[in-house]
Amino acid sequence: MSNILEANDISVQFGGLLAVNNVNFNIPKKSIVSLIGPNGAGKTTFFNVLTGLYKPSAGNIVYDGRDITDLAPHKIAEIGIARTFQNIRLFGLMTAQENLLVAMHSHLKSGITATILRTSKQRKEEREAEERAQEILDFAGVGKWTYEFARNLSYGDQRRLEVARALALNPKVLLLDEPTAGMNPQESQIFIDFVRKLIAERDVSVMLIEHDMKVVMSVSQRVTVLDQGEKIAEGSPDEIKSNPRVIEAYLGKPKGSK
């Protein structure tokens, strides 16, 4: 199985702090992989490197056979790496539809003059974009909120809308940063089903940062554990569950051992 995204020997340094230290990570095509670790382990930093927000101090990132280490964030988004945020960052005062249309920005073409003159080409493009947005909203289960301001949606719907917005970029890699944070078990279960449906129906790979172990273990094909910026384990959910280093990182060393 080939990889859609490969991050090789990534290090990120903030002043004297090594937030991510020499981490290798790859995402196979059409898969769900998870990144877990205690708070402050460098998971979100690693995400920010993948999306171009931080530049790694060492290492490189290859997406679909192309080195994207030095690309600007909006370029990385455009070629197909989309993300959601740990704390929801929707455009609250824009409707659900507009949120998705913003994400389609880089795939639409009309310039200033075409927009002012409302050429038939521009109108057609807008209409098609709106139809596609509706399709994605329906797929994500927020289809009835098309003309509602994003901030007025319920928490779960906002989470779903954020995924829908990321999907509007037509990504091949979807990075979800703690998507089930603040959800109750039923909502989490609905979300897991949604992610599974996503993989089944669309040509997309999902990378997940998650604290809810039930979600991680039930949905991921592979789990990677970060602790203090270093990769300490990688493997199938079952392997991770019984890995002593992982248990140590989460629970501390057993009493009496050195």
Partner 1 sequence: MAKTIAPNNVAKSNRKWITGYSIIGLLLFITYQFLLPWEGLPLGIYDAIYRWMPPSAINESLVYIIMALGLNIVVGYAGLLDLGYVAFWAIGGYCAGWFMSEFFYFLNINFLGSVPAEAPGIHINFWMVLLIGGFVCGVFGILIGAPTLRLKSDYLALVTLGFGEIIPQVFFNGENFFGYNISNGTKGIVGVDPIPVGVKNLGPFDFGWKLLIFLLLTAVMVFISLRLRRGRLGRAWLAIREDELAASMMGVPLMRTKLAAYAVGAFAGGLGGVAFATHVNGVYAERFNFTISIFLLAMVVLGGMGNVWGVILGAFILSWVNGNGLTAFGQLYNEQFGTDIDFASFTFLLFGLVLIFMMLFKREGLLPESRLKLMLHEDELDQIDASSKSGDK
| Residues of the shown chain interacting with partner 1 in the complex, contacts defined by CB under 8 A | 51, 53, 72-74, 77-78, 82-83, 85, 89-95, 98, 101-103, 105-108, 110-112, 115-116, 118, 122, 126, 130, 147-149, 151-152, 165-166, 169
Cα torsion angle, 229, 235, 239, 241, sign: positive
Output the smallest distance, CB 143 to partner 1, in A.
14
**What residue type is assigned to position 58 of the chain?**
A
53 or 58: whose CB is closer to partner 1?
53
Output the smallest distance, CB 235 to partner 1, in A.
30
Output the smallest distance, CB 243 to partner 1, in A.
33
Output the smallest distance, CB 157 to partner 1, in A.
13
**What residues contact 233, with CB distance under 8 A and at least 6 apart?**
223, 224, 225, 239, 240, 243, 245, 246
The string of DSSP codes covering 219-235 is H-SEEEEEETTEEEEEE
List the beta bridge partners of residue 11.
58
| Angle at which helices 155-167 and 185-201 cross, to 10° | 10
Residue closest to 213 by CA, chosen among 233, 193, 192: 192
Residue 103 Cα to chain centre, angstroms: 14
Output the smallest distance, CB 28 to partner 1, in A.
23
Residue closest to 158 by CA, chosen among 135, 182, 186: 182
19 or 81: whose CB is closer to partner 1?
81
Output the smallest distance, CB 177 to partner 1, in A.
11
24 or 119: whose CB is closer to partner 1?
119
114 or 232: whose CB is closer to partner 1?
114
Rounded CA-CA distance 213/232 in Å is 17
Rounded CA-CA distance 116/14 in Å is 45
89 or 124: whose CB is closer to partner 1?
89
78 or 248: whose CB is closer to partner 1?
78
139 or 225: whose CB is closer to partner 1?
139
Output the smallest distance, CB 256 to partner 1, in A.
47
Residue 33 phi, psi dihedral angles, 5° rounding: -120, 150
Residue 191 phi, psi dihedral angles, 5° rounding: -65, -40
